[in-house]
Amino acid sequence: MTRPRRFVVEADGGSRGNPGPAGYGAVVIDPTTGETLAEAAEYIGVATNNVAEYKGLIAGLRAVRALLPDGPADDGPQVRVRMDSKLVVEQMSGRWKIKHPDMKPLAAEAARVLPASAVTYEWIPREKNKHADRLANEAMDAGKRGKQWEPSSSTADLDTPRSAVAAVLPPVSGPPGDAAAGAARARAALNRPAASATATPQVGWGAAPDLGAPATFVLLRHGETALTPQKRFSGSGGTDPELSAVGRGQAERAADAFAARGTVQEVVSSPLRRCRETAGAVASRLGLEVRIEEGLRETDFGAWEGLTFGEVRERYGADLDAWLASAKAAPTGGGESFAEVARRVAATRDRLVTRYAGRTVLVVTHVTPIKTLVRLALGAPPEALFRMELSAASVSAVAYYADGNASVRLLNDTSHLR
């Protein structure tokens, strides 16, 4: 048959743990007919999300090259790459610098597969990248069983027309294979029973379900301000202080640590200045943008803003006792109760979990929102807020799974500051 000269590549990668067991998926589509022309997936062992996403891109581009009978010509092909990784899209488009040492060779490898003039990149929401996402998850499922992905067991293409021809490509680690032979294997795979797509997965910790990669919130408290060492109430109703010199140094050390790990894919921040400055330092090192989330702001402490605990005790003793005794009690002067903050933070959490399912997000915020996220993940009572220590620029982490379960992975880590 006549091969098209225009292609759409959709690619994705994921890591269950970040770094953790990882895999990628890629699909090549005829933009005119919507037919699937090629699929590729591979379990790649322990890696980060970013590494897996780049390997998915490489596999998709190699799939296009294998579909061209005479290799890429000077007048073609034209390839539109669609991915839900803003990092990969922006870096490969040349708009963001590639700073992480693990990413540079992968980006260079992707750039060599086809002429640069033949490839353009487009970011798409995760929900529009389901085919590649399912391939990546199938690859990780296979790796969990100690095997590699097999096209005969794939359900990733069940949403496409049954007449589509999918040429199954070899893994990124090997050379491009025989596209015709791959197409023959894919035709056989299309005859698999459709019932596998409708099986109801087990859910719940007792059933040990495989729920895919969680949304992982890496919770970074902002660096010090002038008020921090004095332990003064500093919420969203006060002076909105900037980072001190010490705080700026803490933010830079946090940036160094996250750059070395290479796991963060998105950055969101409280709108308050100390968080925006901390988030900006990290995002600049990672080549990411900062997204502001109003729901991550600190509690409004009302008339207590700028005061020490002792000063509040002296001036507003009865109100302080009520606040310590009940999450529904608000600080003097129209501040927020912890119950109100919990509702706001929970709503923000739910939005972010949906938006960043399967991804690792740096959440730069304050003491109360971080403690609240940890408390809610543990199912602990409101008084647990008074039993957690959170140092300036400390790191905590919570993972959120598809069945609604959450797992607290880290609390108040300051090792990067030493």
The residues that are catalytic are 222, 298
Pick from 47, 23, 12: nearest CA to 147: 23
In 48-151, at which residue ranges do the beta strands (DSSP E only) sit? 78-83, 119-123
CA 110 to chain centre: 22
The Cα–Cα gap between 125 and 30 comes to 20
The Cα–Cα gap between 93 and 125 comes to 17
Angle at 141 between CA 140 and CA 146, to 5 degrees: 90
Q: Is the peptide bond before 19 cis (omega within 30 degrees of 0)?
A: yes
Tokens found for residue 62 = 């190699």
Q: How many residues does the chain have?
A: 418
Do 234 and 306 touch, CB atoms closer than 8 A?
Answer: yes
Pick from 113, 128, 42, 45: nearest CA to 79: 113
Pick from 41, 44, 48, 45: nearest CA to 11: 41
Q: Is the peptide bond before 176 cis (omega within 30 degrees of 0)?
A: no
Helix, coil or strand: residue 187: helix
Sign of the CA dihedral with 53 first, then 57, 62, and 63 last: positive
